[in-house]
Amino acid sequence: MKYVPGKTNAENAAAARRSGASESASGGALSAERGTRARVARLILEHGPVTAASLGERLGLTPAAVRRHLDALLADGMIEPRTARPRGQRGRGRPAKLFAITDAGRSTFVHAYDDLAGSALRFLAERMGGEAVSEFARAQVSGLVDRLESVMREVPADQRIRVLAEALSAEGYAASATETGIGGEQLCQHHCPVAHVAAAFPQLCEAETEAFGQLLGTPVQRLATIANGDGVCTTHVSSHALAVRHARSHETTSKESGR
């Protein structure tokens, strides 16, 4: 406690209590501010690119508060602004500004043992060749297949992609499933814990895609990957009904050509 001449001990003590309370409140406010900023960054990671208005609605923040957090994240290099791609005819207003996570921002989330994993795979490739890396990648995703294969048999075909998205989210991939309106759905992974390693070893992404097709029982096609510099890993999943019709058509064509 700092003693102030001319004041009684009681007055000095009261002043010290007010000062301590003020510092405590300031520290609490700073902690809350950082917590909210982390939530904003996490939301951009999982659902980005997103607009400031969407962030405000999801988090219950005022436009001024959202701008404050976005400005801080931009200054730290955690996020970057993007311009929304127009869909069809737009009005004369400005294109919506979106915010997406950067590589630096993504790296602040979990990237488990990137350096060690990369060194191990480089060693494996040098000693045993690229096929050994592919075999390793398939072994890595076999655990996901083993855990979900029996579950998928009990789940209706049109619900399997959502079960897969939930399983991937539980493993840190922040996954979601959305309908495309063109005879299928999209499986999106907004975070990839091994993105830096997969950038050097695409066999990891290829094995994962194969596993998705095996679990969903329908053709899948990888459209984008975080490892390749895209904002989200996106996989197109053909509708089960469409896949069945295609298989029957192929079977009929094969029988007719064999006559």
Claim to verify: residue 235 and residue 125 sit in the same structural domain: yes
Assigned token pair, 60: 């219950």
Claim to verify: residue 96 and residue 122 sit in the same structural domain: no
* Residue 1: pLDDT band with limits 50, 70, 90: very low
> Is the distance from CB of 166 to CB of 215 less than 8 angstroms?
no
Q: According to the model, what pLDDT value does residue 177 have?
A: 92
Q: In total, how many domains does the chain have?
A: 2
Between 14-18, 202-206, 238-242, the lowest mean confidence (pLDDT) is in 14-18
Assigned token pair, 123: 């060693």
Q: According to the model, what pLDDT value does residue 250 have?
A: 46
C-alpha of 192 from chain center: 6
Q: According to the model, what pLDDT value does residue 2 have?
A: 44
Query: Residue 109 above 50 pLDDT?
Result: yes
Contacts by 49-52, CB closer than 8 A, 24 or more apart: 49/82, 49/84, 49/98, 49/99, 49/100, 49/231, 50/98, 50/99, 51/84, 51/96, 51/97, 51/98, 51/99, 52/97, 52/99
* Residue 253: pLDDT band with limits 50, 70, 90: very low
Name the H helices within 155-202: 160-170, 195-200
Q: How far apart are CA 245 and CA 115, in angstroms?
A: 46
The residue among 203, 217, 121, 116 whose CA lies nearest residue 164 is 217
Q: Tell which phi-psi region holds residue 63, choosing left (phi > 0), alpha (psi between -120 and 50) or beta.
A: alpha
Claim to verify: residue 233 and residue 152 sit in the same structural domain: yes
Claim to verify: residue 76 and residue 120 sit in the same structural domain: no
Between 9-23, 25-39, 199-213, the lowest mean confidence (pLDDT) is in 9-23
Is 152 inside a domain boundary? yes
Is 251 inside a domain boundary? no
Claim to verify: residue 236 and residue 160 sit in the same structural domain: yes
How confident is the prediction for the chain on average, in pLDDT? 80
Query: Residue 225 above 70 pLDDT?
Result: yes
Q: pLDDT: is 117 or 189 the higher one?
A: 189
> Is the distance from CB of 52 to CB of 70 less than 8 angstroms?
yes
The residue among 75, 100, 126, 104 whose CA lies nearest residue 195 is 104
Between 72-76, 224-228, 240-244, the lowest mean confidence (pLDDT) is in 240-244
Residue 61: which H helix or E strand, with range? Answer: none
Cα angle at 86 between 103 and 209, to 5 degrees?
50
Domain span at residue 167 reads 114-246
Mean pLDDT of 7-31: 55
